[in-house]
Amino acid sequence: MKKYALFILLFMGCYIARGQITNISINKKNFESSGFPYKGKRVLQVEHIETAKEDNYIIFSKEERGADPDKLYVQQFQKKEGMWVPIVEETVSEDGIITSVWESRKAFFDADKDGKLDALFIYSRHPKENIEKQLSCIALILYKGQFYRMRAEAEDGYNKTTYSDNYASLPAEVKENVERYWENLDKR
């Protein structure tokens, strides 16, 4: 009986370890001068996230302060054969709009239990002439090398959420995780 109980505990420990996600703290200034091949000149947010099956860097960066137009670069890199390779990249840029990354508002999970990173980040949109005025709040979801979005507007009190065209293709368990986070988020 003791051997059976030990086997079950060992099995459960391996299952839990397989689904573990580790976020490694990174100093932004040191990262900027490291020679890592990210876009832009300044790092706004960098996350080093290890899962059971992947080693990831997620980087939010911009050009020099005051660059016109404002461009937010979002990139996911993974280590492949000892090299950091871009998996997905996107540039967020709108005329007259400044984007702001909410560095402390993020979530890392493995909703579908595949040992790979599922992530959610928050950023907001502001008019260039008044950075204090927030126009909208956006959840950027990273799943299997693709970005998905949820968005709420200040003009309706953040009451209505709109979704990117590809959002419907997310698995139910991923949607449940991100929607629960989104519902509890203070979007102001």
Does residue 10 form part of some domain?
A: no
Does residue 6 form part of some domain?
A: no
Does residue 29 form part of some domain?
A: yes
Does residue 99 form part of some domain?
A: yes
Does residue 156 form part of some domain?
A: yes
Total count of domains within the chain: 1
Task: Output the pTM of the full model.
Answer: 0.85
pLDDT tens digits, one per residue of 87-143: 999 999 999 999 999 988 999 999 999 999 999 999 999 999 999 999 999 999 999
Residue 40 pLDDT > 80, yes or no?
yes
- Average pLDDT for residues 31-38, to the nearest whole number? 92
Supply the Cα-derived Rg of the chain in whole angstroms.
19
Distances (CA, A) of 114 to 65, 110, 118, 137, 143: 39, 7, 10, 29, 11
* pLDDT-based confidence at residue 12 (cuts at 50, 70, 90): very low
Point out the least confidently predicted range of 2-11, 59-68, 71-80: 2-11
Place of tokens 């967020």: 92
Place of tokens 């054969």: 81
Does residue 14 form part of some domain?
A: no
- Rounded to the nearest angstrom, the gap between the alpha carbon of residue 8 and the centroid of all alpha carbons in its chain is 35
**Quick one: pLDDT at residue 19?**
53
- Average pLDDT for residues 138-149, to the nearest whole number? 97
Domain span including residue 131: 20-184
Does residue 11 form part of some domain?
A: no
**Quick one: pLDDT at residue 18?**
41
Does residue 8 form part of some domain?
A: no
